[in-house]
Amino acid sequence: MPSTLIKNIGAIIGVQSKPSSFKKGAAMSVVETIENAYILIEGDTISAFGSMENMPERADIIIDAEAGLVMPCWCDSHTHIVFAEGREGEYVDRLKGVSYEEIAKKGGGILNSANKLHLKSEDALYESAFNRLNEVIGMGTGAIEIKSGYGLSTESELKILKVIRRLKENSSATIKSTFLGAHAIPMQYKEDRQKYIDLVIHEMLPLVAGEGLADYCDVFCDKGFFTVSESDQILKSAAKYGLKAKIHANELAISGGVQVGIANNAISVDHLEAIGQEEIDALKYADTIPTVLPSCSFFLHIHDAPARRMIDEGLGIAIATDYNPGSSPSGNIPLLMALACNNMRLIPSEAFNGVTINGAFAMELGESHGSISIGKKANLIITKAIPSLDYFVYAFGSNHIHKVLLNGKVVNNA
């Protein structure tokens, strides 16, 4: 097992002693730091770290951080990066005043993406998704959840999930796969919604679970998409196959999505742009992780989730990109942190915990990812020589990333 030593680190940002913990409330603003430090990696695992004066003398490979910061790679717990094409035409329509919901009602939006995806081969989808994945790895992402949901037929949903399986096999990023057959009701089922839901439950789910193609099952529980009782049916059926729940909830309206997510022991409830006190209170007594998506609010020009209030009331949140062609065509986590700070009024340390350790927990990777801890995966970002995490977020237009290591190996070099 080769050892790698990173020396002359300006500061290690995001240290945690094991077992590492999900950060809630005031703890979200705490980021443990060691200045003037080294990290030792054995194989793909962090084996030691500390201040430079205690640095080991030997290692097979030595990387000089040249006073850059070292942080854990980002853990992006919500994306849809397997899609056929961008939807820049709809973007321009929205800029001219047509709403996201109007576009969706006319068969645009998710249905537009599904029509395009239907025509693409698995290989073509794999190639474009692999490129997107490499792009976000270059921006520091080391673990990522990827959803299906632009298929909306058995054949196309399986095609997407097989693409995700190939990404898992071939990428050095850690990947979780989510089945989102209930992303929208296809046009041909508009008059018989239950028929589509039955297809999801009785045809898609058994095949997805039978082939081990997904870790989670998600539903878009919102106004104009799936109702609370439809979501409940689907998530309960998924649980019978051992698929835990995640849920898109309360993006467009107070939908009851948070409550049905919690009732189904969802790992996370995501979006939350339209939540009130009742939902916040319900989350206080649940293990379900509220996940906010600031670049979706930015791009759709809708309310931000009340992340500041949620943290002030003691909740811990994960922050994810939602990288997809309709509501967030960006997987850029450094930019996402700037949006979370500026638009949601978080401070950089809270944004950092949202996209690292809390994001890891939102993919059930909290024990192996999301912090600099002995025994965790050596998924690390080395920055250029910048003064601090605050500066990293503040100077939002610059690329501060110098190197990214996944599983202990450098995968990019800026």
- List interacting residues with ligand NIG (CB under 6 A): 109-110, 113, 220, 248, 251, 296, 322, 324-327
Q: From residue 201, how far is each of 58, 217, 230, 274 by CA, in Å?
A: 56, 11, 11, 28
d(CA 131, CA 167): 10
Tell me which DSSP letter residue 376 carries: S
| Shortest reach from residue 188's CB to ligand NIG, in Å | 19
Query: Rule CB under 5 A: is residue 215 a binding residue for Fe ion?
Result: no
* Residue found under tokens 């990696």: 41
Residue 304 contact partner, candidates Fe ion, ligand NIG, none, CB within 5 to 8 A by sort of partner: none
How far apart CA 60 and CA 95 sit, in angstroms, is 54
363 near 143, Cβ under 8 Å?
A: yes
Minimum CB distance to ligand NIG smaller for 14 or for 181: 181
CA torsion 223→227→228→230, rounded to 10°? -160
Residue closer to ligand NIG, measured from CB, 148 or 324? 324
> In terms of residues, how long is the chain?
414
Q: Which structure tokens are listed for 8?
A: 């002359």
182-208 b/e (C-beta count within 10 Å ≥ 16 → b): bbbbbeebeeeeeebbebbbeebbeeb
Minimum gap (Å) between residue 11 Cβ and ligand NIG: 34
Tell me how many degrees the CA angle 46-34-398 measures, rounded to the nearest 5.
90
Residue type, 235: L
CB of 125 to ligand NIG, least distance (A): 15
Minimum distance from residue 221 beta carbon to ligand NIG (Å): 10
Q: Name which of 322 and 350 has its Cβ closer to ligand NIG.
A: 322
In the list ligand NIG, Fe ion, none, the entry touching 226 (Cβ below 5 to 8 angstroms by class) is: none
Output 175 or 182, the one with its CB closest to ligand NIG.
Answer: 182
* Closest CA relative to residue 306, chosen from 282, 332, 338, 280: 280
Which of residues 95 and 285 has its CB atom nearest to ligand NIG in the complex? 95
For Fe ion, the closer of residues 81 and 393 by Cβ is: 81
Residues 42-71 touching Fe ion, rule: CB under 5 A, are none
Site for Fe ion in 319-358 (CB under 5 A): 322
Stretch in the footprint of Fe ion (CB under 5 A) among 86-94, 123-131, 317-325, 347-355: 317-325
Whether residue 19 is preceded by a cis peptide bond, meaning omega within 30 degrees of 0, is yes
* 402 interface partner picked from Fe ion, ligand NIG, none, CB below 5 to 8 A per type: none
Interacting residues of 139 by C-beta distance below 8 A, sequence separation 6+: 74, 331, 332, 333, 334, 401
Q: Which does 72 bind (CB under 5 to 8 A by kind): ligand NIG, Fe ion, none?
A: none
Q: 219 or 389: whose CB is closer to ligand NIG? A: 219
**Contact of residue 231 among Fe ion, ligand NIG, none (CB under 5-8 Å per partner type):** none
Give 403's DSSP letter. E
Quick one: what does residue 251 bind among ligand NIG, Fe ion, none, with the CB cut-off 5 to 8 Å set by partner type? Answer: ligand NIG
Q: Decide: 90 and 35 in contact? Cβ < 8 Å.
A: no
Shortest distance in whole angstroms from residue 201 CB to ligand NIG: 20
Closer CB to Fe ion, 6 or 292, in the complex: 292
CB of 26 to Fe ion, least distance (A): 29
Tokens of 90: 């709809």
Residue least distant from ligand NIG (Cβ): 326
**Partner interacting with residue 143 (select from Fe ion, ligand NIG, none; CB below 5-8 Å by kind):** none
Distance from the Cα of residue 75 to its chain's centroid: 6
Contact residues: Fe ion, CB under 5 A? 322
